Structure 1
Amino acid sequence: MKNLWSDTCAEDFHAAPLSGEISADLVIIGGGFTGCSAALQAAGQGAKVVLLEAETIGYGGSGRNVGLANAGLWLPPDQVMAQMGQQAGIRLNAVLAEGPDRVYRLIERHDIQCEPVRNGTLHCAHSAAGMVDLQDRYQQQAVRKAPVRLLDIKDVLQAIGSKWFHGALRDQRAGTVQPLGYVKGLARAAAEQGAVIHEHSAVTGASHDRDWTITTTQGTVRAPALLVATNAYSKKFKGLQATPTTPVHFFQLATNPLPDRILADILPNNEGCWDTGLVMTSFRKDQAGRFILGAMGLPDALGIHRSWATRALARLFPQLAGQAFSHFWSGRIGMTTDHIPKIQNLGPNAYGVFGYSGRGISPGTVFGAACATALLSQNETDLPVAPIRGHQERLCTAKGLYYETGARLIHALAMRT
């Protein structure tokens, strides 16, 4: 199984494991969007920051992402307000609406090589009911004066090049990136600002006595502030509560680069797309002309998802029928029951951030920077959401199995007629 993003990443970042005892103003656990954004923000403020990554930067969901830099959450804004309360919901909606602006400003400022394209994204109606949902989402965004447009069947045929969809909601605030390039670029920029980053440095324990002491197999970091940014890839270690999420898997497949004569009518403006299906499907192109198809599900030995992808590719875009997939990879999404990201108090001057529910790029960038500032200043005023004392996700394993079983059943039957 080959990850396309690993094979095509233009950002070359490597760091040595932690060795010995060091001190910092802020220690971060996790080298994804959130952790690297936090490290860059803290270093830019002149703080001494140390980031520990158990594998390599972007090894988890950040390096396995679809690459859609969306505005807002998966939930429509009215539902965010209904679940959080009006004031808190208005704040989170407003902060995340500006998320893509922050992403693309960082890309430009630090010359991050991540194939950035900001031509919007398309939320595609897979059915008549899906179109009704998009009409409601459009109304909610239009009231907020967001730059969105509802596409009918004729418009969506021209925009996507497929007859399969009933319409789409275009959001001009959003765009696409090569996600591993983006997160490695954040790490490189943070290191250039003075952040100390260590890969292959899995945390084995944490304790607090005036300062936090974070241990790995080869070293120790002491710091007054701690940020745990491992999300769906959290691992238990002694002395610190794990951040709970329901694991949902998402796989992707990519073709070899295709000639212009084949791709000419498919996503001519290079938007990133996902649909309204209960078992969501995503699709996009990369800079080299590969077509990338993704969906919920865990790659399995029976080949159910790969077989579905072959059928789906031919049905959605007949001109791509028979094209072989050169890459097939997957990652985990950290899902919460209410689909609202969390900042959890883990102890004195310590946060755990988790639960993006499939929206990691923009929210992770925003939450990481905000948490770094709050921890260093000990002022929570500008956090996107209020920190919580505790959070429980019940029956996480059972829920994950439920999602996977549903994905396998739908993919076993779909696109056969």
Structure 2
Amino acid sequence: MTADTFSTRLPGARAREDDQARAARQAEGHPSVSPGDIAVGVIIGRTSEHFDFFTYGIASAIVFPQVFFPFADPLTGTLYAFAIFALAFIVRPFGTALFMRVQKHWGRGAKLTAALFLLGTATAGIAFLPVHETLGAHAIILLALFRCLQGIAWGGSWDGLPSLLALNAPVRRRGWYAMLGQLSAPIGFFAAGALFLYLYTRLEPADFLGWGWRFPFFVAFAINVVGLFARLRLVMDNEFSRLLEERELRPIGTLEMIRTQGRHIVTGAFASLASYALFHLVTLFPLSWLVLQHQRTVSQVLSIQLVGAAIALGAMLYSGHLANRIGRRHTLGLVAVLIGAFALASPWLLSGGAMRQDVFILLGFVLLGLSYGQSSGTATAHFLPACRYTGAALTADLAWLVGAAFAPLVALGVSDRYGLGGISVYLLSGAACTLAALAANRSARQRAA
């Protein structure tokens, strides 16, 4: 595929062409796949991934420091656990590139099956993994290996349905449909957090650290199996397959994408950086910091975070309506400014009593819902349809790596050494990157016009 293939067309022109093509298919008698059908597939598939994602994340904050790093003090053990947590995001782009080649040679079904089989194997491996007391340093090495395999599998599990949803949605409601796939994040966190909270409060501490923490990983494995068959049923359906091919949602070489669309990948990733920077600072960081500082218990933090996840779900739904009214770009820009203001207040909120700490968590989840709800659609809006399949995957990989991979590690380490002001700097930098990327996108659109 040559660079000429990626000739630039205005988003508005592409949208009109999309609507005209959809009308032509219906006039010719072709069955039409509704955006709602696609949205169901996106939510099912990504919820299983987010449950797996948060199962590991929560365990990194409250379990792994004790069972895999008992030789270190609690803070250092948590930092070690968060360092291994970041490995999945580092290797994820390699997984994307690897499984794109698998799809080219053996098809979308083989790719998805192999990726989710690898994810299930890695997750089950963690569930059965002996702890440091039994296996010594080899337990840590195996944990890191399984975490890398999870990251490679996440890169390979991209099925193109979010891109298909964005292209197939009505033009005036694309903000709403772009949000639907993102609902999987608060749903996944709520399910994983509720399961950990139940086990933590119902089991004796020795039982929880001995075997109770493994149960969510078994559940994650089972959910992955269900998610695999649900997604395969969709992506292998003749009508879905036809629509994916018709929309040119097929893999493109990673090097070719970087060479011809590298600018869009970078600006797309940075346009959603405020959201990704906030992602772990309201989920994993409070769960580690407040407990390590002996200010709150695990059950207290998880309980308020479950309320926050429910609120984030509502905020995401509202973001869809807001984006339809003022546009996705303006929505992300507005929320980035609010995240900047939230960043300035964060040290004061976290250093206060329980009420202020709860406000930090709940307000953070509101902002996360508003921003994350539109981060996916905005990140890929400037790709041509033929580039959206690979471009969306690489953009998400870069956003997770730059914005979220090291967030709990950096926030915890910096806060311990320099105080909570480090969180303000981290979130402010993310908000600034989002605003700069949105401004760059706007300038590019004006030049193209």
When the two structures are superposed, what TM-score results if normalisation uses the length of structure 1? 0.25
Which structure has greater helix proportion?
Answer: 2
When the two structures are superposed, what TM-score results if normalisation uses the length of structure 2? 0.24
Which structure has greater strand proportion?
Answer: 1
